Structure 1
């Protein structure tokens, strides 16, 4: 069970999602306590041990994707795994019920807008604001366009599950289904084609709106980078779209279809945004979007006869938001096979992929311990007795050894990972889908998701080269291991997954995996909202120097005659 001893060390790490750098090792320092302090530290010995774990792959079935805080849309070619295409089904909603549009109404234009996550990084020529986009992959100075088709959907997205006597919320899944027996058909999703954008341009440029002729145009508004599609009644090729929205909304004035929320949701069941690679290119881009924000909407601009000024026209708007229910659909065309895991013996590689991809399970102190004289003890019980003295009830009584730090270190398989690997992974209690105690205690930078929880969930350390290949992730689980010793906590299986935002796991429950059995399986939400993937050395890697172990740094008390340093 015990493998070797190492010098004590610790990693200091920092990270933002746009700039990554390799963290540097530093000497390990024990925390002072009533037992160990400057006067007494010389009476104790400090050492470390590595313990075997079992780690195995868990390829995912379809996963629940409705009501995510963020949604993916587009085409992503992962250098390691292959292509993922993300499309989106959303209900639409309005706060203006039973509207009165006025006399002689004309729909002048329709504008669809969905902002990107971006930030102001300067000014260009004292005229234009320079932006940097955080939410489009792959990252770069420019982005590949995609083909985007917008359909009216006729499938009714219900709130509650009829198979559970309407006592639970309805889940919708990444494979276009509401359950293993209920698929959402293409005829419903693609009921009416509203428009087909053969090449949707994705840009980090500021959008400037003007009024007046080109020679003396006045800037009326500056917008951050976003999807912004405009259909105008004076543009002949937009006639079909203008006609669609005129009939769908404007012509419904006075009818029951717009009179209340229930009627509206049944009449207009939503929009389906279907993403595909652009026909002229085999590449694409994938956007991470927040459709719940107020700026994400469809705005109908219309004019009507002024009720107060004869021969004058007034203008107004009708706003549609993307709510309340939104569902992501994923189509994977993987070039790297994700194997079914060996839960008994462990796997040599761990395949982690976001979206409808793959997780990994980890067992600490699993199996029988052949070196222990008490054959009734399993590995976990034998390990506890090395570190603490237990009473007759198996509860903590006193220390033998003091744990200073415990880590799981995951090495990237640099021979298989071709780049674009995630900077963050999420380690969690797989038995009940909640964070570990170390997550809760690590409050560093928790208000900034890109820098959050760095002590527990170590940020990817990279080579100091232009290529910046990933080296390893260091996950500190000191509090979790101490809880196993002192609190008689259950030695549960752990899970490891790719994470798009580690902060989400503090408040958002995990989402359901569609297993087709009574056994419930869940997926971390932050793993669903990222397409990135990586391959790690597992517990059975042929490279022992990169094999996954649990490494524990501890201090020997003089009373522990079995301690290696005594």
Structure 2
């Protein structure tokens, strides 16, 4: 095992010890090498520039989770999130008998939730996760569901070998193609998600038993349960005919899916739900003759339709108050005073390390001539709570941000190297790499391996090439590392005037509706907040 690996393992071990003791842990390495033959630097500030970019519409088909709702945000924009999806027959070519009578049609999608208590009666209480509202309680939204009339394709019509791409700003296509727009299959002018557990009661002789404890068949975590119109939806499906139900391809050609449309409610600030539709379904419950032509004996049946992976999240924006500061030209040559991060069809921050290249060149020379070793390197971003307005119209800080190589859309070495896990909260894995919101309202991200890799460059030309621009975005899930395509590529110039074409955006940011405002690297005119600027620190050891 070479010395670099041994050094790295020592650093990681020390980091884990510090993480267990301090949520906003300090620089590591101070006691790794204490010999007098070494000079130890326990955290030197280096130059860093950070600036905003609003990237525009982004690909939103086939996301892992989806937004649905309406969220009013004073500091960013009001976002309405709609959703369209195809449906799949759980079982192709269903067989019916005679005298069919629909009992009910239930659309079910589980909420993200955590169990709080389990009572001796077996009843559980839950707390809903990933539902956001800037009101004191969860405010209602208007929710309608229509039969979709716009064909969702799996493949690009102009290039059949490529997958079709749909974008966040294409809501108008689906809105205009609604089937029976005045007659939705579901209509609730004041929908509010419930945190109550779902209790299923026994059914005997085709009749639901009384809702008593002894008749409980099962219990489940909270879920969205919507009663769709049995005639407008149920009868349409059951009367589709054998040819339209023979295969899923035939069924999708007949019934193009569902379009979920959310609307504002007077006096409501709205709420936004994060939902995993892949875990939901629509079930048609119906009665029919147990044997065709013999109506004296009935049987209860069900036809299940699953939500297809072919779906699109659609965003509409209003009262956009952050486009101007998020798209403003770079202030002079050293970045922005405030950094605007927004998920969904949002914005990113670009980060340049060592814009004063002589700093990096000096470290590289020391590594080559003096054997300098990087013990720790990290970036710290602090929330500008005054600008964000928490407590006066905005309740949420994103739990996590994600740093990546924005020039090549690659993960950083520190991300790949970090195998730390969190079994209870998987989204908080890779906590050594960091980016998790601390109690001090800071996001700390380690770039130790990234810097160490820079110093391995064979010459100055390679060193400059490897010092790529980094991207910082909101993250819904640190384990989601795929990218979504931008509808229109963006040309973004760095502080040196060098342009890069940006074509992709991290999917983890697309699926998060939140935003935050961070202090940038430009010193604030408010002296009290000077130390809250973006900080880039490196600690290292150098043999005498």
TM above 0.5: yes
Q: State which drifts further: 449-458 or 113-122.
A: 449-458
Q: Distance in 1 between matches of 2:19 and 2:27?
A: 17
How far off is 1:311 after superposition?
1.0
**Aligned match of 1:450:** 427
Question: Which of 256, 260, 282 is 1:269 aligned to?
Answer: 256
Residue aligning to 1:87: 82
Q: Aligned equivalents of 1:73 and 1:190: distance in 2?
A: 20
Q: 2:217 aligns with which of 197, 217, 220?
A: 220
Residues 370-396 of structure 1 show CA distances to partners (whole Å, capped at 9, x for unaligned) of xxxxxxxxx1xx334422349xxxxx8
Given candidates 459, 463, 488, the residue that maps to 1:515 is: 488
Alpha-carbon contact 1:107-1:246 (below 8 Å) kept: yes
- The equivalent position to 1:184 in structure 2, one of 170, 173, 194, is 173
Aligned with 1:204 (options 169, 173, 195): 195
Instruction: Indicate whether 1:251 and 2:227 are aligned.
Output: no
Could you give the per-residue CA deviations for residues 307-359 of structure 1, whole angstroms, max 9, x where no partner exists?
Answer: 18761101211111110211111122245323214355411110011111211
* Cα distance in 2 for residues equivalent to 1:214 and 1:46: 69
Q: Tell me the alpha carbon deviations over residues 161-211 of structure 1, each in whole angstroms, 9 at most, x when there is no partner.
A: 123x2232111111116xxxxx62522145542221112231111122333
Task: State how far apart, in whole Å, the 2-side matches of 1:433 and 1:551 are.
Answer: 24
Is the 8 Å Cα contact of residues 108 and 226 (structure 2) preserved in structure 1? yes
Matching of residue 478 in structure 1 with residue 448 in structure 2 = yes
Select which of 161, 164, 168 maps to 1:170. 164
Question: Aligned to 1:410, what secondary structure does the other structure show?
Answer: strand
Q: What is the rounded CA distance, in whole Å, between the counterparts of 2:474 and 2:239 in structure 1?
A: 48
Judging by fraction of residues, say which structure has more helix.
2
Pairwise CA distance, 1:156: 0.6
Change (3 A) 1:326 1:484: same
- Asked if residue 504 in structure 1 is aligned to residue 477 in structure 2, the reply is no
Change in Cα spacing, 1:513 to 1:259, as seen in structure 2 (3 Å) is same
Q: 1:546: Cα distance to partner?
A: 2.2
Query: What is the aligned partner in structure 2 of residue 536 from structure 1?
Result: 518
Counterpart residue number, 1:29:
29
What is the TM-score normalised by the length of structure 1? 0.80
Distance 1:216 1:202, change over 3 A: closer
Cα separation, 1, equivalents of 2:40 and 2:30: 11
CA 1:462–1:47 in structure 2 vs 1: closer, same or farther (change >3 Å)?
A: closer
Q: After superposition, where does 1:356-505 map in structure 2 within 5 Å?
A: 356-366=345-355, 379=357, 382-389=358-365, 397-419=368-390, 420-445=396-421, 447=423, 448-463=425-440, 470=441, 472-487=442-457, 488=462, 490-505=466-481
CA contact (8 A) 1:148 1:199 kept: yes
Q: TM-score, normalised by structure 2?
A: 0.83
In structure 1, the gaps of 5 or more residues are: 1-8, 16-20, 178-182, 232-240, 370-378, 391-395, 464-469, 559-566
Cα deviation 1:58-79 (Å, max 9, x = unaligned) = 1120111110110111122335
Match of 2:313 in 1: 328
- Is the partner of 2:230 in helix, strand or coil? helix
Of 405-414 and 307-316, deviating more is 307-316
2:380 partner SS: strand
Q: 1:13, 1:458 within 8 Å by CA — same for their partners in 2?
A: no
Cα deviation for residue 14 of structure 1 reads 6.5
SS in 2 for 1:486: coil
Residues 98 and 260 in structure 1, CA contact (< 8 A), matched pair in contact too: yes
Gaps of 5+ in 2: 1-13, 202-207, 391-395, 492-500
Aligned to 1:122: 117
Query: Per-residue deviation at 1:226?
Result: 0.8
Moved more, 222-231 or 320-329: 222-231
Q: Deviations over 1:450-493 (max 9, x none)?
A: 32122222321224xxxxxx2x2111101101111114561111
Equivalent residues of 2:71, 2:134 under 8 A apart: no
